Amino acid sequence: MADLKSPTLIYLKGFLFLVLGLFAAGLLLAMVGSLQVAVLLGIAIWAFCRAYYFVFYVIQHYVDPQYKFAGLGSFLAYLWQKRNRRVPYSE
């Protein structure tokens, strides 16, 4: 599959992700109807957004500018390779 290049389709894709997330959160809150669940859901969403930002922006711009991540699997492979490249401590 080719990369998405149309700005209109990119915005549409982002909008559809937003609609899907709001729909799922709305259904979950309608099923449970608890303020505590709503707050915890908000914290979980915020935390996952920050983790995503960390993986795809912070690592690329502040830790390793040469590496470009293609997805979460790519990030995990990067961490695994980096872990295996470490030189063992010797005295």
**Residue given tokens 């709503």 in the structure block:** 38
Amino acid letter, residue 67: Y
Q: Over the stretch 6-33, which tens digit does the pLDDT of each residue have?
A: 899 999 999 999 999 999 999 999 998 8
Residue in 22, 51, 52 with CA at minimum distance from that of residue 38: 22
Distance CA 60, CA 67 (A): 6
Give every CB contact of residue 78 below 8 A, 6+ residues apart in sequence.
64, 67, 69
Q: Over the stretch 43-90, which tens digit does the pLDDT of each residue have?
A: 999 999 999 888 888 888 888 888 777 788 888 888 888 777 765 555
Task: Check if the beta carbon of residue 60 is closer than 8 Å to that of residue 70.
Answer: no
